[in-house]
Amino acid sequence: MSPILIVAGTRPECLKLVALVRALRACDGPRIWLVSSGQHPQMVRDTLAQWGLAPDRELAAVTPGSVSAQVRWMRDRVRMVCEELGPALLVVQGDTSSAYAGALAARAAGIELAHVEAGLRTSDPMRPFPEEPFRRRIGALADWHFAPTPGAARNLLGEGIAPARIHTPGNTGIDALRLALAEPAAAHAPRWQERFDELLVLTLHRRENYGPKLEQICLGVRALLDLNPRLGVVCPVHPNPAVGTRVRRILGGHPRIVLTTPLEYRPFVQLLAQARLVITDSGGIQEEAPYLGVPVVVVRENTERPEALTCGNTHLVAAEAPALIAAAQQWLAAERPSAHAFAPGAPFGDGRAAERIAQVLVNLAAHALVPV
């Protein structure tokens, strides 16, 4: 049986593919090749190592340049691996440059493409950029679509994708959360209790918030601390200088703000579970928070995860200090929301999506016609 090739290049991709790689390797099926695209090589190594995994093949690190140039760089190298290994299927996850490059490589090599976390859409085809254009383009290229929610599946149907090509297994990120929560607490999670009484977790990384919006968010957080003397902040600072420089300049030195390096997944989940409130522009946290019973203020213009807004623990606000403060104060005055169980009907699935996807992929690989 020809192998299945899985491409990943960023930390979020790895986290959302860990359970799938494990499930596929537990099957009596094809060889699984996990390929690091070269987008963030060290971050891929570090993230996979937390789960006892490593890339089977590491491609050359992306050279500095425009987003389109980086996509071309990865596309060409993934295509060469496809031509060498002759996979039955190529699997990409999400909406990153790596995912789009993998999709283009599959099309160029004539290999069937499976898209995990398919069908996420905002109302604006160009925002957030480049994630929204990437996921729409991947959707047009993919042969098989694994939608994380019924809403995502409806988006695909509305774009003319045949129902037989769409599966709705749930979100594999919730699989990773379920696995993390089943393990003992991480001893190296940040200790904040000695510095303040209530925890606000802050994470920022989206391109759409670079510049003045990022400053507005940080100023809003400082104002929140002035209004709430029991509250303190832990912020894992994203390594991108466009984020880190401003975050450190505005938030650094405050006695109730702890700036850390990016955390491993398990200690970060532990930190989230302890939070009184989360302020973020992350997509993954919008999915995880309902299962932890943590309220979230999402500082973005729109979201491709409307389920987060309807499950009762998330506010979407503009990246402006007054709007952020008003939403945060509302949550801080309210009771903590109840956590959703890992069960059918939960907003993003029951935490067993990978097992369902693996069964479909193994069956597809067994019947795939591989180009000579």
Q: If DSSP codes are grouped into helix, strand and coil, which group holds residue 298?
A: strand
Q: Is 131 a catalytic residue?
A: yes
Choosing from 13, 131, 288, 355, which is the catalytic residue? 131
Q: Which amino acid is at 98?
A: S
Angle between helices 172-181 and 265-274 (to 10 degrees): 80
Q: Which amino acid is at 317?
A: V
Q: Is 205 a catalytic residue?
A: yes
H or E, element range at 317: strand 314-317
Choosing from 40, 79, 95, 315, which is the catalytic residue? 95
Q: Is 56 a catalytic residue?
A: no
Beta bridge partners of 6: 34, 91
Choosing from 205, 276, 300, 315, which is the catalytic residue? 205
> Cα Rg for the chain, rounded, in angstroms?
20
Choosing from 57, 222, 238, 254, which is the catalytic residue? 238
Report how far residue 1's alpha carbon sits from residue 254's, in angstroms, rounded to the nearest whole number: 58
Give the HSE-up count for residue 318: Cα atoms under 13 Å, Cβ half-sphere.
5
Report how far residue 209's alpha carbon sits from residue 243's, in angstroms, rounded to the nearest whole number: 9
Q: Is 117 a catalytic residue?
A: yes
| Exposure string for 285-316, b = 16+ CB within 10 A, e = fewer | bbbbbbbbebbbbbbbbebbbbbbbebebbbb
Residue with structure tokens 């990943």? 8
Residue 117: CB atoms within 10 Å: 29
The residues that are catalytic are 95, 117, 131, 205, 207, 238
